[in-house]
């Protein structure tokens, strides 16, 4: 083999090595890009699912709140207009819950979708007892307890696909406050004139 042939062979080997290096580099970059896309997709799915779960829980609490108020108004023989306002509030929250269920069918595992459907059905029972059915205290309490249980089941079911452990702290906060001030009294008496009433 003369020097010319050796040079050609060396050049061919160098070109082959360069091509192989380029191919390896391309494959590595493609793998890295795919990994980044997978990570971004996973993060997007987690963030989207969190928002859907959050909105579903908000809707659940809103339906429960409107149902409690509706039952209180029925017991107080309130006007049809006031009852309808609370029923409309529950209905609006229900529509949001339906939208969340549709999104969960695209984003969430089957177990969470089923927990969401149970939450939906239980809240229908709560609304029915609050606004339409006879005022059976035991049935009302059972409907409220079913609402709480299904909500906790829904939260537990959501934690695993969000990357958390499956256990959830039971919802135990029960303290309440009034958020509406009483209407001012008619201006009469010493208190209305800005003086403290005297003790007798």
What integer pLDDT is reported at residue 197 of this predicted model?
45
User: How far apart, in whole angstroms, are the C-alpha atoms of residue 30 and residue 46?
Assistant: 24
44-166 CATH choice from 1.20.120, 3.30.43, 3.30.519, 1.10.10: 1.20.120
Digitized pLDDT (tens) for each residue of the chain, 200 residues in all: 666 666 656 666 767 776 677 677 767 776 666 665 556 667 888 899 999 999 999 999 999 999 999 999 999 998 999 999 999 999 999 999 999 999 999 989 999 999 999 999 999 999 999 999 887 889 899 999 999 999 998 998 888 888 877 666 666 666 666 677 777 776 554 444 444 444 44
139 neighbors 133 (Cβ within 8 angstroms): yes
The tokens 């969190």 sit on which residue? 50
pLDDT on residue 90: 96
Residue with structure tokens 């429960």?
Answer: 64
pLDDT at 192: 44
Give one DSSP letter per residue of 129-171, joined into a string.
Answer: HHHTS---HHHHHHHHHHHHHHHHHHHHHHHTTTTS-S-----
Report the candidate in 145, 133, 121 with the shortest Cα–Cα distance to residue 71: 133
Residue-level pLDDT at 31: 64
Closest CA to 97 of 68, 60, 129: 60
The 8 Å CB, 24+ separation contacts for 6-13 are: none
User: pTM for this one?
Assistant: 0.66
Nearest to 67 by CA among 15, 113, 3, 131: 131
Distance between CA atoms of 69 and 64, rounded to whole angstroms? 9
- Position 98 scores a pLDDT of 96
Print burial letters for 62-75: b (CB count within 10 Å at least 16), e (below 16).
bbbebbebbbebbe
């Amino acid at each position: 083999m003369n020097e010319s042939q050796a040079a050609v062979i060396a050049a061919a080997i160098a070109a082959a090595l360069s091509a192989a290096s380029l191919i390896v580099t391309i494959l590595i970059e493609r793998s890295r890009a795919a990994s980044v896309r997978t990570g971004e997709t996973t993060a997007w799915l987690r963030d989207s699912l969190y928002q859907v779960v959050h909105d579903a829980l908000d809707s659940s609490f809103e339906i429960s709140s409107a149902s409690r108020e509706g039952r209180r108004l029925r017991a107080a023989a309130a006007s049809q207009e006031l009852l309808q306002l609370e029923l409309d509030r529950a209905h609006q929250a229900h529509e949001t819950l339906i939208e969340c269920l549709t999104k969960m069918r695209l984003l969430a595992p089957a177990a969470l979708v089923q927990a969401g459907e149970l939450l939906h059905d239980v809240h229908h029972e709560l609304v029915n007892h609050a606004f339409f059915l006879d005022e059976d205290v035991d049935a009302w309490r059972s409907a409220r307890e079913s609402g709480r249980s299904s909500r906790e089941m829904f939260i537990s079911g959501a934690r695993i696909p969000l990357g958390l452990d499956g256990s959830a702290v039971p919802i135990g906060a029960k303290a309440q406050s009034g958020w509406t001030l009483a209407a001012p009294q008619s201006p009469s008496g010493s208190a209305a004139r800005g003086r403290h009433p005297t003790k007798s």
